[in-house]
Amino acid sequence: MRDRLGKFEVMRLLGRGAMGEVYLGRDPKLGREVALKVITAGSVVGEEAQERFEREARAAALLNHPHIVTIYEFGEDEGLHYLAMEYVHGEELEALIRGGKAPKLELLEILAQVCEGLAYAHEHGVIHRDIKPANILVNRHGKRLRAKLMDFGLAQMGPTGLTQAGTWMGTVSYMAPEYLDSGQASCGSDIFAMGVILYEILTGGRKPFTGDTTTLVLNRILLHPPDPLLPTELQQVSGTLLKVVEQALAKRPEDRYPDAEALGAAIREAMKAPLAVVQAAVPRPPLPPNSEGTGQQIRVGKGGQGQCLSLKVALRQAGPGAEITLLPGTYRESVVVDKDVTILAQGKPGEVVIAGVAGPAIVIQTRGAVLRGLTLKAPADAVALRIASGAPLLEACTLQAGDCCAQLEGAGTAPVFRDCSFLAEGPVGLRMDSGTLARLEGGRIEGFLVAGVDMGAGTQLSLHGVTVGPGGGVGLKVRTRSQATLDGCALSAEGGGLEVEGEARAMLSHCRLLGSRFAGLLALEHSQAVLESCDIGGHACSGVHVLAGANVVLRQCRLTGNGGFGVSILDRGLATLEGCLVQANGGAGLLIHHGATVQARSCTFSEGQSLGVDCSEGGQGVLDGCEISGNAGAGVQVESGGSLLLVRCTLKEGRDTGLLLLEDSQVTLEECVVHRNARGGILLAREAADPILRGGNRIEDGFLRVDGGGNLVRVAPV
């Protein structure tokens, strides 16, 4: 590092991050120490970081507050951009929380101070978007700790073209539910992040929403309450802080504090409350249904062993919390469960059948009913199970119907199905009406003609270890504004594995989407999908098909053996691939088409029966650290109107050309290797422009161009 940056003397390195470094500096005229943040321009990452850098300077220039780090100067010195800011002698709030040495009351006062600075930023139209303990510096003035909010590199200051609408920025654990749904940040999403920090202060660093993968964390933020606070975590503070945490972490922004100033005032008010209420105020997990039952037991069945002959009669006799046992047999009746009771099947699976007469076998209209081991059947035009309200639990049940196996009605209805079988003989296995929620753990859904699960608008679904298919339609249809989370599931349906539409969102982890007549994943109409460690193969068309402005992220996924494309992105679609294997597909491993944008990092596109990567008709993309090898067609083909940047990529061992450029295409290669391709390294159409080469490429197979007579002529690169 040089000795000076602009007018500032550089003294020593303070820290290094993903996009730059921070040095301790000195202003020789004023004699004060400064922190110098630097970023080197020129690379792809550098250009993005520079824009973030300038954003931070613009945001901080609007703000002058004792609890916000002050920016002194933004400049450039011989290609090196720097930001000179207030140097704070102290440490990050994250270290204080995890160290456990600072009293919680001191940390709460720090957070209240941050609320003051954040309220000031919001008043000036600046939304931080990356509130977290690592972005709060703390120093001590005498006996008093002082907080400084820093790093406005992701701040939002009104409309901006820097970040595409609907995409996420920041740190996942601190993202608000509505931000995950829309990608649109607000003052309320900053307040939610402050609520997460408040929770961490109380727990010594434990986060309110946890999971083994990013997908599971997102699922918990969107669908679940925060993990309960423990009595031992509240021994130093007032229990009234529980209400502050609950309001700050409310799912709906309108239920949170109206502004950061109000949150800070609530924290300070709670700090004054007595500690005696701690034990009583600790929230406990909800009791399972009927855990406080009356002990009443009723047996239903023939042969003198039952107290009554029908379930309908037993329900009239039962009080809340009663346990009703059905003896083996077929009960031809339709019943309404309007009490919190447990209904059990005695015998082997399939020996206790409730067959609806003129409608559903069972209608549930109560909060906490439990059904275990039952087989529910309905006539051809009816539903086997209808849940009109409540959050019942169904375990090891079989649902069989000619219309749909189970239908959820009424906003807030939230059943749990554990190891249940949906044997559809008609259109749908599970139908969810608007505003309903459901969780399926284990079990299977099969035989459907239209959809295994049909999620109505604004519904939420969580599937864990569920098998969907075989079936004639789509495995899972996620409709407008709905949210689906799948973990360890298998989807195999003729019409496709998963269809996401209408600004809906799907998150999949360790799932298998196999064998359809169309696509494993179809992302439509500005939808969003995140897939981690998934297998997608055996589809007649694409493994993943993205269009109409949809945004799809694939991490560590395997897309193999699809009859068409591995991944196809059209119609202004956006896709990000990280560490994916795209192999042995019939069409191009990756198709970037019709104005689509793709970023692929550390991916492999190999052994395809056609092209490795095809960029055409307005498509644009960046491939960083990718391997394109062993494909029957060109490793990479860039057609008219296509634009592609290849950074540190290897194009090798293809049965055709490594890179094929057609007329009106634009390609840049940076530190790439092109070798051992059967037809040559880079082939240029007659009117195609030469690729831009920078950063020491190794092109061993040479350049070829098609001349006016259609012959291949070896040329030297320009």
SS3 of 180-229: HHHCCCCHHHHHHHHHHHHHHHHHCCCCCCCCCCHHHHHHHHHHCCCCCC
Query: Which H helix or E strand runs over 13?
Result: strand 8-16
Contact 670, 697 (CB under 8 A): yes
State which H helix or E strand residue 80 sits in: strand 80-86
Q: Which of 406, 325, 297 is nearest to 362 (CA)?
A: 406
Buried b vs exposed e over 94-129: b needs ≥16 C-beta within 10 Å?
bebbeeeebebeebbbbbbbbbbbbbbbbeeebbbb
130 assigned to active site:
yes
In the chain, what is the straight-line distance between the N-terminal and C-terminal CA atoms, in Å? Answer: 35
Instruction: Return d(Cα 257, Cα 238) in angstroms, integer.
Output: 19
Is 37 part of any known ligand binding site? yes
Which amino acid makes up residue 561?
A: G
Specify whether the backbone of 50 is left (phi greater than 0), alpha (psi in -120 to 50) or beta. Answer: alpha
DSSP percent split of the chain into helix, strand, coil, nearest 5: 20, 35, 45
CA 423 to chain centre: 30
Concatenated DSSP letters of 535-583: EEE--SS-SEEE-TT-EEEEES-EEES-SS-SEEE-TT-EEEEES-EEE
The catalytically annotated residue of 3, 27, 77, 130 is 130
Spell out the SS3 assignment of 304-315: CCCCECCHHHHH
Show the tokens assigned to 374: 């039952």
Hey, is 52 helix, strand or coil?
helix
Q: Are β-strands 483-487 and 505-509 bridged in parallel, bridged antiparallel, or unpaired?
A: parallel
* Pair of tokens at residue 697: 């490429």
Q: Give me the residues paired with residue 623 across strands.
A: 600, 646
Neighbours of 275 (CB within 10 A): 13
Q: How far is CA 275 from CA 104, 113, 125, 231, 576, in A?
A: 13, 22, 38, 12, 50
Annotated binding residues for ATP, written as ranges, equal 37
Annotated binding residues, written as ranges, equal 37
Q: Which residues are catalytic?
A: 130
